[in-house]
Amino acid sequence: MEKQLEYLLAVETSCDETAAAVVDSNLDILSNVVVSQNDLHQRFGGVVPEIASREHVRKIVPAIDSALRKAGVSYKQLSAIAVTAQPGLAGSLIVGLTAAKTIACAKNIPLIAVNHLEAHIYACRMAAGRDVFPAIGFVVSGGHTNLYDCPNATDYRLIGSTLDDAAGEAFDKVAHILGLPYPGGPEISQIAQNGNADKYQFPRTFLKEDRLAFSFSGIKTAVLYEVQGQPGSSKIPQKMTTQRRADIAASFQQAVVDVLIAKCRQAIGKYGYRTLCVGGGVAANVLFRTTLEKMADDFDVNLFIAPMELCTDNAAMAGIAWEYYKNGEFSELDVDIKAGMVRH
């Protein structure tokens, strides 16, 4: 007899997206609601934590209602509720976790706290429709640039990260320098299409070093000096034109992608895996995706990149909770958040 499908409600509020999704026990996504707060944070050039928390308070119940309605699933049909409990902005995480605990309590269903970074990698597994582990996992987002050794779907061992800014953060800060709105990644990749990526040689930190580490603060400063001039220098910076902005954006994007790709290759070489899973907001970048595909072809690597809608923050990727559900690994109702997304 075929096993009956079960349903999981997933909630995600780690940063500035209020998200809820319903994922069935086959890992099919029945709904994936993401309420973006971009317009609220845009004029500040980045996420303002208190504004984010307050907006989650307003949007969390409508987002959950909408996810259930779109999936055609009722509270009664839920087998469990998954929620992002770490890492992220404390005030944001607390809203999602409290909502999820309330539902778990009221409906008497298990609560499963998930790690947002592991979920970013697991998005690749969900989209693949089959097991993808063991693999090198790579989360490239606004808060993290993390490489993981992933022997299986629930084991994520950090093997490399950034010493300062995250890659997405660099996109956001460089966009700000260029006068582009938040979030900067999509804006930069858009205008870079008309730019010359060889025009400016921005630093590619650790590119040649045999070390799984990233640093993006140097490139951000290099762009700042290119645009505004170097402090103490008498050289007057060139006038900003549409073409110059596009050239700077393209050169910056190319430098970041060069480093990301080089470190993926190093990680694969070091750990001997043939599979690479890439997720997080920056994995939505078209140049990064196409360069990854070329690298995977050249070096015979099985590449899984999260599909666009699962790259940026969403609740569906918290479908990783099914892995814990299968093992009967549930969270206590006094589980706390772990914050820890540091923005430099």
Q: Which does 282 bind (CB under 5 to 8 A by kind): Zn ion, ligand KG4, none?
A: ligand KG4
Q: Which does 189 bind (CB under 5 to 8 A by kind): ligand KG4, Zn ion, none?
A: ligand KG4
Would you say 15 or 104 has its CB closer to ligand KG4? 15
Q: Which does 185 bind (CB under 5 to 8 A by kind): Zn ion, ligand KG4, none?
A: ligand KG4
* Residue 138-157 contact track with Zn ion, rule CB under 5 A, x = bound: ---x----------------
What distances in angstroms separate CA 105 from CA 80, 171, 189, 203, 332, one per listed residue? 11, 41, 44, 52, 11
Would you say 15 or 320 has its CB closer to ligand KG4? 15
DSSP string spanning 213-234?
EE--HHHHHHHHHHHH--TT--
Least distance in angstroms from the C-beta of 283 to ligand KG4: 8
Q: Which does 16 bind (CB under 5 to 8 A by kind): Zn ion, ligand KG4, none?
A: none
Q: How far apart are CA 165 and CA 180, in angstroms?
A: 19
Q: Does 313 contact Zn ion by CB under 5 A? A: yes
Least distance in angstroms from the C-beta of 154 to ligand KG4: 20
Q: Which does 115 bind (CB under 5 to 8 A by kind): Zn ion, ligand KG4, none?
A: none
Q: Residue 250: which H helix or E strand, with range?
A: helix 242-271
Q: Which does 285 bind (CB under 5 to 8 A by kind): Zn ion, ligand KG4, none?
A: ligand KG4
Least distance in angstroms from the C-beta of 328 to ligand KG4: 29
List, in sequence order, the alpha helices (H) in 108-200.
116-128, 167-177, 184-192
Would you say 49 or 168 has its CB closer to ligand KG4? 168
Contact 57, 50 (CB under 8 A): no
Amino acid at 68: L
Least distance in angstroms from the C-beta of 84 to ligand KG4: 10
Contact 145, 162 (CB under 8 A): yes
Q: Which stretch binds Zn ion (CB under 5 A): 39-47, 92-100, 135-143, 145-153?
A: 135-143
Radius of gyration of the chain (CA): 21
Would you say 45 or 229 has its CB closer to ligand KG4? 45
Q: Omega before 134 cis (within 30°)?
A: yes
Strand runs labelled E in the chain: 7-12, 17-24, 29-36, 78-86, 111-115, 135-140, 145-152, 155-162, 213-214, 275-279, 302-305
Would you say 137 or 281 has its CB closer to ligand KG4? 281
Contact 154, 323 (CB under 8 A): yes
The residue behind tokens 């690597």 is 301
Q: Which does 49 bind (CB under 5 to 8 A by kind): ligand KG4, Zn ion, none?
A: none
Q: For binding to ligand KG4 (CB under 6 A), which residues are involved?
A: 15, 141-143, 168-169, 171-172, 183-186, 189, 280-282, 284-285, 312-313
Q: Which residues bind Zn ion (CB under 5 A)?
A: 141, 313
